[in-house]
A and B are shown apart, each in its own frame.
Chain A
Amino acid sequence: GESVGLHLPTLSVQEGDNSIINCAYSNSASDYFIWYKQESGKGPQFIIDIRSNMDKRQGQRVTVLLNKTVKHLSLQIAATQPGDSAVYFCAENLGDYKLSFGAGTTVTVRA
C-alpha cells in the first residue's frame, strides 16, 4: 500500500546548528501534510502543516518544504536546541482526515 516514509531513522545535530528532516510520500493525491514531534512517553505534538497548493511554509524556527514533483517533504529546524530532541513524524492526509504516519526520525541534540 501507499505510505509515508522517512529517509533517515536518526539524526544527531550540534546545538545551535540547523536540522533537516526528510520524508518521502508515495500518494500523489495527498493534499495535506503535517509534521509532529513526539517526546518519549507522550502523544504527538503538532509542529506545522502544509497544503499541496503550497511549496513552503514557515513557523517559529521551523520551515516545511514540499516538493510535489518528487513527492518529498522536509522539516527544517533553525538553531536546534536541546528541547528539540525527540522523534519527528511526517503524516499525510489519506482523506476523511485519516492520517498515515511515516516511520519517524529520532533527533538527538548534542550540547
Chain B
Amino acid sequence: GAVVSQHPSWVICKSGTSVKIECRSLDFQATTMFWYRQFPKQSLMLMATSNEGSKATYEQGVEKDKFLINHASLTLSTLTVTSAHPEDSSFYICSAKTGGRNEQFFGPGTRLTVL
C-alpha cells in the first residue's frame, strides 16, 4: 500500500512552452501533497505544499505564477511549469501524506528537460 505515481516519468519540451506533471496517490487519500525539485547531485528542495481544495503554499523564492499547483481531489495534484526555460530543467518529485500519519510517501519523480 501507500503508492504514489507520477506522470510523465520524463518529458522534453521547448523553451517557452508549459508542462503539466501529475502526482497521484493510488491506494490512499492524500490530504496533503508536497512538490520538491532536485537538481543533479543536489538535495531535494521543497517548492510548495498543497492541501486538497485549498490554494498551495509556496516556499520562499518559488514563483507561484510560474509553478502552478492544483490539488483538486484527494488523489491527484498537478504541477504546471509555465513558460519553461532551460534553467527549469530538473527532477520534480511529489510526496503525499494522509491525515492520520506523519510519513510522506514519495513518487518516482519526473525528469524535465527544457531545450
Contact = CB atoms under 8 A, between A and B. Distances in A.
B43 A103 contact: yes
Nearest to B103: A46
B97 A43 contact: no
B74 interface: no
**Dominant secondary structure at the A interface:** strand
A67 B28 CA distance: 34
B49 interface: yes
Contact of B108 (A42, A100, A101, A103): A42
A99 B109 contact: no
Interface in A43-64: 43-46, 49
Interface of B: 4, 6, 32, 34, 42-46, 49, 93, 95, 97, 102-109, 111
25 contacts: A36-B106, A41-B109, A41-B111, A43-B93, A43-B95, A43-B109, A44-B106, A46-B103, A49-B102, A89-B43, A89-B44, A97-B32, A97-B97, A97-B102, A97-B104, A98-B46, A98-B49, A99-B34, A99-B46, A100-B46, A101-B43, A101-B44, A101-B45, A102-B43, A103-B43
